[in-house]
Amino acid sequence: MSKDVVFDLGGVVFRWEPLVVLQTLFPEQVTNEAVAKQWAGEIFQTFHPDADWALFDLGRIEPEPLAQRIAARTGLAEADLRHLIASIPAHLLPIPGTVELIHELKAQGHRLYFLSNMPAGYADHLVRLNPFFNQFDDGIFSAHVQQIKPLPDIFATAQARWSLRGQPVFTDDVQHNIYAAEQHGWHGIRFETPEQVRAALVVKDYLSA
């Protein structure tokens, strides 16, 4: 029987390792993981819905003013922040095991969707370069609807747009997004590895062992 599965993208379908990004781009300033964590905390503010970066994900701010806002707040160099913002799309590479899982679920007849906090420029880049997006029946990028996880309105928009059936399965690497989905009546699977998610889907009778 066909069922509905909803994927987060960053950290689930695509690699997202901000500490690696920072250490790679700024090896002279970000000399170890502790410094990388400090920079990540200041720049991304744990992606809280009120953070500067959330405005970017919501499509309410462009890269240049985003860099200016973060620089003013943190004291980090504006040029470095512009470099970071421009470099992230190239880091968002597909996770092979998740891509295989998407194809396997689609082949079994399930309906697939994505729900992603993502600025418009990054979203366009990912869709343009990754043909497996044609496996999804539909998807929502936060910047396109100006709504963001974990706030409830984006889940309501997804539910209404996709006419989701029963209790869809939602996989995300961020626990507060899982909680939000569960509060909306979805079943959440916290992503750790593609193999772990596949095993959870086998238990729920979406796939055979």
- What pLDDT score does 48 carry? 82
Q: What are 124-133's contacts with CB under 8 Å, separation 24+?
A: 125/89, 125/92, 126/9, 126/14, 126/89, 126/92, 130/94, 132/94, 132/99, 132/102, 132/103
The predicted pLDDT at position 70 comes to 96
Q: What are phi and psi of 75, to 5 degrees?
A: 85, 0
**Quick one: pLDDT at residue 151?**
96
CA separation for the pair 141, 115 (Å, rounded): 6
Model-level pTM? 0.95
Same domain membership, residue 109 and residue 83: no
Whether 178 and 189 share a structural domain: yes
> CATH number, domain at 141?
3.40.50.1000
> According to the model, what pLDDT value does residue 102 have?
98
> Are both 108 and 156 inside the same structural domain?
yes
The last residue of a domain, from among 91, 111, 127: 91
* Domain shared by 61 and 155, yes or no: no
Q: Are residues 97 and 180 in the same domain?
A: yes
Q: Which of 91, 123, 156 is the last residue of a domain?
A: 91
* pLDDT attached to residue 46: 78
> What pLDDT is stored for residue 165 in this prediction?
85
Total structural domains in the chain?
A: 2
Q: Which residue stretches of 11-133 are H helix?
A: 18-25, 33-44, 52-57, 63-74, 78-91, 96-107, 120-129
Q: Looking at the domain assignment, is residue 66 inside a domain? A: yes
Question: Are residues 72 and 99 located together in one domain of the fold?
Answer: no
Q: Do 85 and 140 share a structural domain?
A: no
Q: Is 25 helix (H, G, I), strand (E, B) or coil?
A: helix
Domain interval for residue 179: 4-15+93-203
Residues 128 and 185 in one domain: yes
- The whole-number pLDDT of residue 2 equals 85
Is 69 a member of any domain? Answer: yes
Residues 6+ apart with CB under 8 A from 89: 121, 122, 125, 126
Q: Is residue 209 assigned to a domain?
A: no
Q: Return per-residue pLDDT of the chain as tens, 209 residues.
A: 789 999 999 999 999 999 999 999 999 999 999 999 999 999 998 778 889 999 999 999 999 999 999 999 999 999 999 999 999 999 999 999 999 999 999 999 999 999 999 999 999 999 999 999 999 999 999 999 999 999 999 999 999 999 998 899 999 999 999 999 999 999 999 999 999 999 999 999 999 88
Q: Would residue 115 count as lying in a domain?
A: yes
